[in-house]
Copies of this chain bind each other. A is one copy, B any other.
Amino acid sequence: MSEERTEISEIGEFGLIDHLNEKIIIKNASTIKGIGDDAAVIEAGDHVKVVTTDLLLEGVHFDMSYAPLPHIGFKAVAVNVSDVAAMNAVPKQITVSIALSNRFSVEAVEALYAGINAAAEHYGVDVIGGDTTASRSGLVISVTAIGEAKKESLSFRSGAKVNDIICVTGDLGGALVGLQILEREKQVYLANPDMKPELEKYSYVTGRQLRPEARMDIVHELRELGIVPSSMMDVSDGLASELFHICKASKIGVTIYEDKLPIDKQTFDTAVELNLDPITCVLNGGEDYELLFTIDQKDFEKLEKHADIHFIGHVTKEEEGKFLVTKSGTAVQLKAQGWKHF
């Protein structure tokens, strides 16, 4: 090894990933798409498989002091299903590996798997493999999901075209606000274990954080309507960050409108209570696992009346840049902050 030492924080998580990916060369004809989208795509005869994987660690991705084990198991599956959904594909199989220390009882492992199996049932996927091993410290969960699609119905990050309409499902910012509440109540509890956490009035936002839903319903509805999004991602790092990814991959610009951004009333009220700007939560809050996608204008009519799809802006030329038009009509440059674990 060289004598040099560059800290990961100097180049950041995305910088590190880009740096490592530069060295990867694709050799097999059956690899249609490697790293760089929500999932990889491989050939499978008459169709394609999409493959995605996530590694979740206690203390980094979840906190067992407030996340119940069945929710942790459910979420580990849902976040992978969400990546399959973001390719406009249907999940079919998952592998699940877990590492745990001897502070876990058999009953605790059962509770974790109850959540994994509930998610597998809910999303119609088969648990086809995995690994259960010892850990010296916390719980580690690694899930790989495999989905299926017709090659022509895949949605990549790279397909957005000028004048396409930018759509987002559900509402945003809830998972971030929920996390802040859970952290606040944890601190209250740590300071005084006799205090009962006050969570009832925050049930929507904490639910968004603890047990997110992958939007497979939208994938199926789009299929029924004959719509293939020109580009799609799931909102795991935050809306602004995801828009930046689509802009980069599709070589486009975007203009979105503050008054079109979907936010739930409880998210809004809780953000205000926490002295957070609700719009910043919507733009930069991660882990909502909603779908962000673009459609051709001709498809707008088919979705116009959909109660859970919001049209937040449109695609512009790359040189026009990335803008948010505020309620007062001012265009401000979008900034992508995203999540940073390092």
Give residues in A with beta carbon < 8 Å to B. Answer: 1-2, 4-11, 13, 16-17, 19-20, 23-24, 26-28, 30-31, 33-35, 39-40, 42-47, 49, 51-55, 57, 59-61, 69, 92-93, 95, 97-100, 102, 104-111, 113, 117, 120, 124-138, 140, 142, 144, 146, 148, 341-342
A60 to B6, CA, bound (A): 27
Q: Which residue of B lies closest to A34 (CB)?
A: B128
List residues of chain B with CB within 8 A of the CB of A17: 132
7 extra interface residue pairs, beta carbon distance < 8 Å, beyond A4-B105, A55-B133, A60-B133: A16-B106, A16-B132, A19-B106, A20-B110, A55-B98, A55-B140, A59-B136
List residues of chain B with CB within 8 A of the CB of A16: 106, 109, 132
Choose among B20, B99, B131 the residue that contacts A113 (Cβ–Cβ < 8 A): B20
* Most B Cβ at <10 Å: residue of A13, A69, A95, A136: A95
Interchain CB contact under 8 A, B57 and A133? yes
A53 CB to nearest chain B CB (Å): 4
List residues of chain B with CB within 8 A of the CB of A24: 117, 120, 126-127
A98 to B342, CA, bound (A): 13
Q: Which residue of B lies closest to A59 (CB)?
A: B136
A87 to B95, CA, bound (A): 17
A59 to B134, CA, bound (A): 10
A280 CB to nearest chain B CB (Å): 23
A104 to B134, CA, bound (A): 22
A46 to B8, CA, bound (A): 44
